[in-house]
């Protein structure tokens, strides 16, 4: 029988293993977090390249009344898109959105004035969930409605949401009030966020949207997704401070004659260790599937083996920058070689054309000389025409 503590941890997405229960090979390779997906389901979706659900909780959050108003107008495209709140009420137009945002600000100010709880500098959190291209927007609306009700409304948080279809991949924007009705502030641990991904996939499947929720590591991704503010900054044409730091760090290493790859960051060491664990766990799971002898298991084992074998190498930021620099140098050398080759071919063609012209001219001259010689020969040796005999005078 599951204890109350375990039930609460499973509900909120924390992985719980009893001391006497060892996780299976499938659970090690495709861990679950209490969101309703099994390790086998993740494995099968992984084998057939099912698209991953993408979720982002912004870290900057919304900290001022003006920022909250702008956030509400942004997700509604200045009132052009209808938003739906936690009660299913439709908010249409900027006036309705602004009124709702003002009420959130007033609630927070009143809460802090009464001293009922610890003050917070956040008014709201922005949440985005993205689906692959071709997803039916109407089906996505139903998924988001059920998901937000199960994930946020059940905890007492107000929110508004809408669907954007201006890009190839339909995605939902959710703006969540940072404080619930009972005064709790919005917070999710990493384990809970992973459970949210699983829960979204389970709900999406009810409406015909096939999604998966595996870890970046098992998919071979060692880089974290860019935060929202960084994406917008790069769209404006500027380099994010993080990239500036990495580039300057790489220049410093090279100027000092140090090997940036040899002096590896502790994080990259953990990434390489994680990759080794994935190989070990994948080997154990594949052997477990093969041992069953079932056709479905054998097919799954073969697909997982191929995908794990084709994982890209673990690459640090320094290695990535060096690879890009080397690739840039290689491209320049290749372009210079191609240009030199083209120039040599052009010179060869000009020489060939000149020789062909000289040969044609020589042949024409020889032909003309031959013609003239022939004419001279004919003129010199041709018989003179017979002269008429003159008649003598009669005497």
Q: What's the whole-number mean pLDDT along residues 111-121?
A: 67
pLDDT at 251 over 90: no
Three-class DSSP labels, 239-296: CCHHHHHHHHHHHHHHHCCCCCCCCCCHHHHHHHHHHHHHHHHHHHHHHHHHHHCCHH
Minimum mean pLDDT range among 93-97, 223-227, 283-287, 320-324: 223-227
Distances (CA, A) of 259 to 251, 262, 393: 11, 5, 127
Minimum mean pLDDT range among 27-36, 174-183, 231-240, 289-298: 231-240
Q: What's the whole-number mean pLDDT along residues 133-162?
A: 93
Mean pLDDT (the chain, rounded): 82
Evaluate whether 250 touches 321 at the Cβ level (below 8 Å): yes
With residues binned 3-state (H G I as helix, E B as strand, rest as coil), the percentages for the chain, rounded to 5, are 55, 10, 35
Instruction: Kindly report the CATH number that applies to the domain delimited by 50-214.
Output: 3.30.930.30
Instruction: Say what the pLDDT of residue 370 is.
Output: 85
CA 73, CA 92: separation in Å to the nearest integer? 11
pLDDT at 280 over 60: yes
pLDDT at 203 over 90: yes
CA 255, CA 277: separation in Å to the nearest integer? 36
Evaluate whether 160 touches 97 at the Cβ level (below 8 Å): yes
In the chain, the percentage of residues whose pLDDT exceeds 90 is 46
Q: What's the whole-number mean pLDDT along residues 348-359?
A: 91
Q: What's the whole-number mean pLDDT along residues 273-301?
A: 93
pTM, entire model: 0.70
Evaluate whether 161 touches 172 at the Cβ level (below 8 Å): yes
Instruction: Say what the pLDDT of residue 17 is.
Output: 42
CA 285, CA 276: separation in Å to the nearest integer? 14
When pLDDT is cut at 50, 70 and 90, the band that residue 245 belongs to is low
When pLDDT is cut at 50, 70 and 90, the band that residue 162 belongs to is very high
Q: What's the whole-number mean pLDDT along residues 157-184?
A: 91
pLDDT tens by residue, 53-71:
999 888 667 888 888 999 9
When pLDDT is cut at 50, 70 and 90, the band that residue 5 belongs to is very low
> What is the residue extent of each domain of the chain?
50-214, 228-322
Minimum mean pLDDT range among 39-43, 157-161, 180-184: 180-184
Instruction: Say what the pLDDT of residue 11 is.
Output: 39
Instruction: Say what the pLDDT of residue 12 is.
Output: 38
The token pair at 327 is 């690739």
CA 227, CA 225: separation in Å to the nearest integer? 6
Instruction: Say what the pLDDT of residue 152 is.
Output: 92
pLDDT at 107 over 90: no
Instruction: Say what the pLDDT of residue 13 is.
Output: 40
pLDDT at 392 over 90: no
Q: What's the whole-number mean pLDDT along residues 307-313?
A: 91
Q: Which of 40, 50, 52, 51 is nearest to 301 (CA)?
A: 40
CA 380, CA 36: separation in Å to the nearest integer? 114
pLDDT at 4 over 80: no
Phi-psi region of 77 (alpha: psi -120 to 50; beta: other; left: phi over 0): left
């Amino acid at each position: 029988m599951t204890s109350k503590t375990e039930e609460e941890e499973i509900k909120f997405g924390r992985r719980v293993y009893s001391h006497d229960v060892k996780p299976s090979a499938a659970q090690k390779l495709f861990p679950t977090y209490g969101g309703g997906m099994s390790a086998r389901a993740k494995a099968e979706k992984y084998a057939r390249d099912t698209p991953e659900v993408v979720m982002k909780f912004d870290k900057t959050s919304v900290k001022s009344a003006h920022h909250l108003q702008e956030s509400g107008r942004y997700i509604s495209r200045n009132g052009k898109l209808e938003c739906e709140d936690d009660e299913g009420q439709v908010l249409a137009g900027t006036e309705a959105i602004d009124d709702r945002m003002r009420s959130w600000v007033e609630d927070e100010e009143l809460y802090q004035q009464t001293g009922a709880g610890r003050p917070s500098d956040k008014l709201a959190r922005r949440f985005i969930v993205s689906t692959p291209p071709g997803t039916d927007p109407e089906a996505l609306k139903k998924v988001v409605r059920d998901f937000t009700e199960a994930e946020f409304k059940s905890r007492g948080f107000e929110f508004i949401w809408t669907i954007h279809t201006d890009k190839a991949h339909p995605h939902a924007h959710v703006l969540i009030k940072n404080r619930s009705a009972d005064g709790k502030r919005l917070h999710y641990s990493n384990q809970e966020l992973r459970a949210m991904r699983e829960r979204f996939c389970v709900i999406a499947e009810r409406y015909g949207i096939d999604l998966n929720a595996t870890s970046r590591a098992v998919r071979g991704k060692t880089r974290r997704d860019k935060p929202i503010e960084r994406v917008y900054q790069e769209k404006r044409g500027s380099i994010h401070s993080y990239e500036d730091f990495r580039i300057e760090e790489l220049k410093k290493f090279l100027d000092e004659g140090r090997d940036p790859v040899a002096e590896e960051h502790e994080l990259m060491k953990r990434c390489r260790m994680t990759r080794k664990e994935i190989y070990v766990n994948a080997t154990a799971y594949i052997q477990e599937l093969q041992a069953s002898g079932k056709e479905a298991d054998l097919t799954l084992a073969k697909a997982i083996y191929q995908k794990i074998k084709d994982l890209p190498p673990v690459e640090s930021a320094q290695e990535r920058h060096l690879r890009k620099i080397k690739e840039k140098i290689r491209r320049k050398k290749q372009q210079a070689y191609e240009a030199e080759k083209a120039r040599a071919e052009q010179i060869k063609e000009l020489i060939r054309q000149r020789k062909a012209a000289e040969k044609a001219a020589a042949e024409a001259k020889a032909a003309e000389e031959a013609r003239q010689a022939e004419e001279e020969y004919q003129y010199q040796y041709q018989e003179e025409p017979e002269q008429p005999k003159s008649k003598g005078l009669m005497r």
